[in-house]
Every structure is written in structure tokens, then in C-alpha cells.
Structure 1
Amino acid sequence: MGQRTTASGPSASATAPDPASDATTAAPGTAGQAEKPRQVPKNASSTASRTSGSGHAERVFLVQTAFAELGGSAHGPGEIAEFTGLDDSVVYRILQSGIYQRIFERVDRGLYRLRTSAAQLAFTALDHRLDGAQTVLRDLREATDGGLVFLYMVAPFSGAQRQCVDMAVGDSDLAELGMTPRDVLSVTRSLRTGASGRTILAYLPEVLQQRVLAEPVPDQAGPGVYRDNGALVASLAEVRDLGHALGYEECMAGWNSCAAPIMWDGSIMGAVLLLKLKSVMPVAPDGVIEATKEAAAVLSRHGAARPSADQA
């Protein structure tokens, strides 16, 4: 199954609270309390050297990011402050302002969550970014002598599952090949299962990885599925090191696979999967691996941020 390495967890770096706070009113229950050390998300940078305007914008983005990184449905200002390294009163003011801007909503006394308008922004960002995907998938099928090609994306209603959104299988009858709709839509939904599932899982935030690790292995999974969480985590580090994953009968007996990640603006969005019979492809040759990675790279470029006309 390949070499095993240990995946390292996200690191936290210390940052000083921003002295140029834009908040003049303390959050309820925080007045007069001593400042306590804050946990800072791994991608956060110090705001102390920022100008007033950019510093405020970065604080707003940190609060939004905290909801995604912390997981769960709702969080209080104190929890957000602890995670971001911001002052409680600053977080409280940002949350209150975000309610009026329809970014956050209060769900209970002292608890907030992202509004569904945040999801609408994500769907808008996805608009037109999959144009031409079918051509890319067909080209990969041709380059791999008739391999079955599938495009999986992170499921829009669950950040810890995947969904098959397109495929290039030629005239193949999936039922005759031993694949049922249940195989495509149920077994392969889990990120524990298959090369494409592990590829997506390798790049997800740790909070979502832990959710997947707590799930049971699907009953219909193939004999090669990772059942031990330690081995599964080690395989994720290997995926990140190599930029692809190889699967040996993980989803279904008799089928091997190769998958590569689709990254948009630094975030994992999905994976390209190449599937062939074990009798035809006992081990994925370099040509198959490179062709799969190139197809994923093309789809990654489709979704990458494009410079404006005056920057081009």
C-alpha cells in the first residue's frame, strides 16, 4: 500500500493582540477581565503591523474562518476570541455587525453561527468553474487506454463527504462491470474509502478529518479499504507528499485506482479518479499517475483565481 509516514497536526503560532482595536464597547461580561493567552489559527498572521483599515478587515476574516475551523453549529464570542487571539470585545462587535450584514446569526443567548448567505457566496464562486470538465475527463480516459474516469467534488451540504458529479466511461455499462448506483452514490460517498476519498481527506481541515476518522468503514467497501485509523492517517501524509493516491481494491473487489486533488485558491475542492480492473492494472504505471495528476491540475487551473484585466 506504499510507505507509511505520520501526519503532523496543525501548528499554532502566537500573535499579539491588535492594539488598534476598533471596539469601544466591551462584550457583555468581559469588562475588567484580565487578558488571557489566545490560541491562533495556523494560517493567521499578526495584525499588529497592519494599518487600521487592513487590520480590521483581517480581524473580520479571522472571525469568519474560526467558524469553519472550529466545526460545530454555533459558538460564543469567548470561544471565537480564544481561537483567533482577538480581544473578546472586538469579536463581539464583529459578530454584532455581521448580523446586520447577514453574515452571522444569533441562534441562542450568546451563541452565533454563519448564515446560509455564506454558502450562497461559495456557490456563486463555483459558477462556470467546471466548464470543460467533460473534455478533461475524456482526454484522461483516452490517455489511459480506456480507464474509467470519475470527477468527485466535496459534497456541498457536508464538508466531510464527496459526491460524483461527472464521469467519462465511454460505452461501458457500469452494471455489467459490477458497479451499481449504490457503489457510485453510497459506498464512494465516504472519505474513508478509495483513492479519491483519501485524496480529498488529506487536504481537509483537521476538524473535518477527525469527523471522518470517527465514522465506521462502509459495509460495502472493498477488501483493500483502510480499517485502521493510524494507517489511514499515515496514508494521508503520503498523499500530500506525492500529490496523488493509489487505491488497491478499496471501494470494490477487483478494481484499482489512482486519484489526484483538485485545489482552488489553496483549498481542496475534489479529486479526479482513474479506475481500472486489477487484472489490467495490478500496479498503476507512471504514465497513468502523471496523466491523472495532469487532469487534476487542469481542473485546478479552471477554478483558480484569475487576475483582473489590469493585472494581467
Structure 2
Amino acid sequence: MVESVKRAVRILQELTGAAPRLGVTELAERVGISKSAIHGLLRTLESDGLVIQDAESGKYQLGPALVTFGNAYLDTHELRTRAVTWSNLLAARTGEAVWVGVLVDDEVMVVHHAFRPEGVVQTLETGATLPWNTSALGKAVVAFSPEELQKRLLAGPLAALTGRTITEQATLAAQLKQVTEVGYALENQEATLGDAAIAAPVFDRSGAVAGAIGVIGPVERLLEDERRQTYAITTRETARNLSRELGALRVGGRPSPA
């Protein structure tokens, strides 16, 4: 039974990375079991809405039930729940979009997205993931994570999304050290060309880093000298207030940055 569950999870993982669908033979090769076994698992997953079969090609893709599971995860995530009000306030104070993220393996998942106050067309990024080293959110979290986890993540692999993504271990390690000193992290077109971000870590009642909150926007606006300093102070202050709401007494067991 446990092995069947593992295989079912593996199917979902393969379909998550597929573009856009996979057939029984392809899945059997990727998972490493017979086509008959894959077919049986797919039928079970399909009956619960976890996968669906395309009528024209006969191939499979992720099903609508996963949306319900994803929404349930977000709705019960304490950091996201507590961050809604603070994210809206930060967006109002800076005039920029705000993301709240948590570390999931070697990626950062956006668990909440407060839109930029101006009435421009914006895409909701809640649920999106980014390699930790390409985002200010990821750097803010990893900088205050346990040393063992930090070393493992720095050892790679380190993804590159743009030509400005930093993939040198020594450079990233130096950046993480600086984050612990100033209390916030920067991202300069490392995930998307033209965009920048400033993020600060959020801590829970145990003193452990729970995630990060940050402002996202055009690089020429966010990283302009005077505005960058103002945004950094405001973001760091918001992160501290959110941490207090989560029950944190001090910043990750370390002295609070000045």
C-alpha cells in the first residue's frame, strides 16, 4: 500500500513538470513500473479528480481536485493568514506589489500576493514557486535558516533564470551573511529581467524563520538609492510586526538588526 502511494505521488510529480500532458507509456518509463500498473493508478487518481484524461490524445494531466487541496493548504497556513493585513499595509505604504513566501525544499512558494495599489493589470502569483537563490524572499529565509540547511542549499544545484542570477556559492554565501547583518535581502533582475525585490525574514513563536515578506516591482523604481533605503526600512519593520503577531519574541534568536 505504501509503495502504491509513493508511485501515485510520483505520477503527480511527473505530470507537474510535464508540458503539457503524458501518456501511459511515457509515465511507465518515467516511474519505472509496468504500463498496466500505471494504468491502474491513473484510473484511481482519475476517479478522485486528481488527474484527467484528454479525450483527443488519451494523455493525462493534473486534475481540478488539486486546486482544492492547494487552496486548503493556503487557507490554513498561519503565516499567510496573519500576513494578509500586513501585506496590504506594506503595499499601501510603498505603492508596490507585496509577496509573502515560504521555503519548500529548494524553492520559495508565494503563499500570498497583495496587488500594487494602482489600478493596473496584474497577475496573481499566489502558488508560484521560484528557486531560492533567484529571489529576495528566498535569500531572506535561507540567511536565517539553520547552518546545515544553508550549507546544503548553497551546495546546489543553483538555478539560473536570467543572466543576472547569482549561482556562485561564495557570492551567495557573502550575500546571506550581509542579510543577517542588515535584516533584509535584495534581488536585482535575478528572477525576471526588469524586476527587483526587497524582502525581510519573518519569525514564529519558536524563534525559527517562518518565511519572508517583500516588495516586488520595476528595478528602476525599487533600487533607486533613496527609495531603496525607504522600502528596506519599511519592509523590515513590517516583517518585525508580522513576526510579533506570530508570537516571535526576538529575531530568530539573534539580536535584531539596527
TM class by smaller structure: 0.5 to 0.7
Distance 1:132 1:211, change over 3 A: closer
Whole-angstrom CA distance in 2 between matches of 1:128 and 1:214: 30
Correspondence 1:34-53 to 2 at 5 A: none
* 2:98 aligned partner, one-letter code: V
Aligned to 1:204, what secondary structure does the other structure show?
Answer: coil
Alignment partner for residue 209 of structure 1, among 125, 130, 150? 150
Superimposed CA distance per residue, residues 219-256 of structure 1 (whole angstroms, 9 cap, x where no aligned partner): 4x233321210010011110000011121112111011
Map of 1:149 onto structure 2: 98
Normalising by structure 1, we get a TM-score of: 0.49
Map of 1:200 onto structure 2: 141
Alignment partner for residue 89 of structure 2, among 139, 143, 156? 139
Aligned to 1:153, what secondary structure does the other structure show?
Answer: strand
Is 1:130–1:303's contact at 8 Å kept on the other side of the alignment?
Answer: no
Alignment partner for residue 270 of structure 1, among 188, 211, 214? 211
Map of 1:173 onto structure 2: 121
Unaligned runs of 5+ in 1: 1-122, 307-312
Map of 2:108 onto structure 1: 162
Is 1:149–1:272's contact at 8 Å kept on the other side of the alignment?
Answer: yes
Whole-angstrom CA distance in 2 between matches of 1:286 and 1:163: 26
Query: In the alignment, is residue 261 of structure 1 matched against residue 201 of structure 2?
Result: yes
Whole-angstrom CA distance in 2 between matches of 1:127 and 1:226: 30
Superimposed CA distance per residue, residues 33-73 of structure 1 (whole angstroms, 9 cap, x where no aligned partner): xxxxxxxxxxxxxxxxxxxxxxxxxxxxxxxxxxxxxxxxx
* Cα RMSD (Å): 2.6
Map of 1:246 onto structure 2: 186
Superimposed CA distance per residue, residues 128-152 of structure 1 (whole angstroms, 9 cap, x where no aligned partner): 56544211101101111x2110000
Shift in Å at residue 154 of structure 1?
2.8
Shift in Å at residue 293 of structure 1?
0.7
Correspondence 1:96-135 to 2 at 5 A: 128=78, 130-135=80-85
Unaligned runs of 5+ in 2: 1-72, 250-258
Is 2:80–2:111's contact at 8 Å kept on the other side of the alignment?
Answer: no
Q: After the TM superposition, which parts of structure 1 deviate over 6 Å for at least 4 consecutive aligned residues?
A: none
Shift in Å at residue 282 of structure 1?
3.4
Whole-angstrom CA distance in 2 between matches of 1:235 and 1:163: 21
Whole-angstrom CA distance in 1 between matches of 2:121 and 2:157: 30
Is 2:96–2:217's contact at 8 Å kept on the other side of the alignment?
Answer: yes
Whole-angstrom CA distance in 1 between matches of 2:134 and 2:180: 17
Aligned to 2:145, what secondary structure does the other structure show?
Answer: coil
Map of 2:238 onto structure 1: 295
Superimposed CA distance per residue, residues 247-285 of structure 1 (whole angstroms, 9 cap, x where no aligned partner): 111211101111000011221110001111023233353
Distance 1:212 1:141, change over 3 A: same
Greater gyration radius:
1
Distance 1:129 1:217, change over 3 A: closer
Question: What is the percentage of aligned positions where both structures have the same residue?
Answer: 25
Q: How many residues are paired up? A: 170
Shift in Å at residue 200 of structure 1?
0.7
Distance 1:207 1:260, change over 3 A: same
Bigger relative CO (Cα 8 Å, ≥ 6 apart): 1
